[in-house]
Amino acid sequence: MRTKPNKPAALEDYLTREDFRARFEAEKAKAQRHYCTVLRFWRSCRFKPCRRERACRGDARECLQRSIDRVPRELKLQARQMMLSATPPNAAAPERAAREIMPDEHGAARDLSRSQSIPRGWTRTSARRSRRGAKR
């Protein structure tokens, strides 16, 4: 017995550009914190709560920028592979896109609009809504 209806998704089922960006940035922040913890940057961190909890508790982006150059490429690849293997198979596109970024690219303040194109389906709703508002 089917539990999923056999009909195409409506435009309202897609995320708007703003929702996609918000979810991407939130997941990117989590990934940065994860990389800082896994690569053990808390050992040399100046922020006392990081050392106390043996995990990143400060500004993860700044920590990555400061420390990522000291890490060998093999360790970066292992950390990324751990992140990808922990990603559930039904993860949405914003979360999956944020988890696929390498640790050294996180520290470079990567901008989503310039470096990665948002899939077409994710922006149709916002374009449609703006046209509806113009007709009324």
With the C-alpha atoms ordered 24, 27, 33, 38, is the resulting torsion angle positive or negative?
negative
Contact yes or no for 124/14 (Cβ under 8 A): yes
Count of C-beta atoms within a 10 Å radius of residue 85 = 7
Domain limits, the chain: 29-131
| Confidence at 81, pLDDT banded by 50, 70, 90 | very high
- In this predicted model, what pLDDT tens digit does every residue of 22-80 receive, in sequence order? 999 999 999 999 999 999 988 888 888 888 898 888 888 888 888 889 999 999 999 99
| Confidence at 1, pLDDT banded by 50, 70, 90 | low
Among residues 15, 8, 46, 3, the alpha carbon closest in space to that of 128 is found at 15
As a whole number of angstroms, the longest Cα–Cα distance in the chain is 59
Looking at 32-36, 96-100, 116-120, 126-130, which range is the least confident one? 126-130
Asked whether the predicted pLDDT for residue 115 surpasses 50, the reply is no
